[in-house]
Amino acid sequence: MPTEQKAISPVIASIILIAVTIAIGVAIAGFTFGIFGTFSSTPNLRVENQQLFTNGTLVLDVRNIGPGKIGIRSISGGALTVSGISPLEVPANSEASIKANVTPTANIKPGTANTFTMKTGDGNTYTIIVIAG
């Protein structure tokens, strides 16, 4: 006695194949054109150059390689006080030269390494070692 086997209809099978093809196409296009990369939560700020002058001026050249602006919340320097940070934001995909005042200047000796910690609004912390010059 033969048993009847049921299968899905050809229309349903065609719809499933089309849906899978579209999903794969969207995924490939997203990665190719960088659409999915904009949702990355990795730190996007690079300190490319740093200078500390004996007159108390701290200069940090930074590059924001991410899709959104990054706010600078604070910069601290151990025994050194950092104030007057400007600018407080680095726009998306751009460079900025952050300047700040460091006191007391008597603690800034040429040739010595000074460690600064920069905190951003997104919660990331960057440790920067600057040789005073």
**Quick one: pLDDT at residue 1?**
57
**Quick one: pLDDT at residue 42?**
53
- Residue 25: its H or E element: helix 10-32
How far is the CA of 69 from the CAs of 12, 45, 96, in angstroms?
47, 10, 11
**Quick one: pLDDT at residue 116?**
93
**Quick one: pLDDT at residue 107?**
86
pLDDT digits (tens, 9 = 90+) for 73-126: 999 988 889 999 888 888 888 899 999 999 998 888 999 999 999 998 888 898
pLDDT digits (tens, 9 = 90+) for 27-40: 888 777 766 555 55
Strand, coil or helix: 91: coil
CB neighbour class for 75 (10 Å; exposed up to 12, middle 13-18, buried from 19)? buried
**Quick one: pLDDT at residue 129?**
92
**Quick one: pLDDT at residue 34?**
63
Instruction: Give the full edge-to-edge strand order of the sheet including 94-103.
Output: 45-52, 57-64, 94-103, 81-86
**Quick one: pLDDT at residue 31?**
74
Pairing of strands 57-64, 81-86: unpaired
pLDDT digits (tens, 9 = 90+) for 39-68: 555 558 889 999 999 999 999 999 988 888
Q: How far apart are CA 95 and CA 79, in angstroms?
A: 29
Q: Where are any strands of DSSP class E within the chain? A: 45-52, 57-64, 70-76, 81-86, 89-90, 94-103, 113-120, 125-131
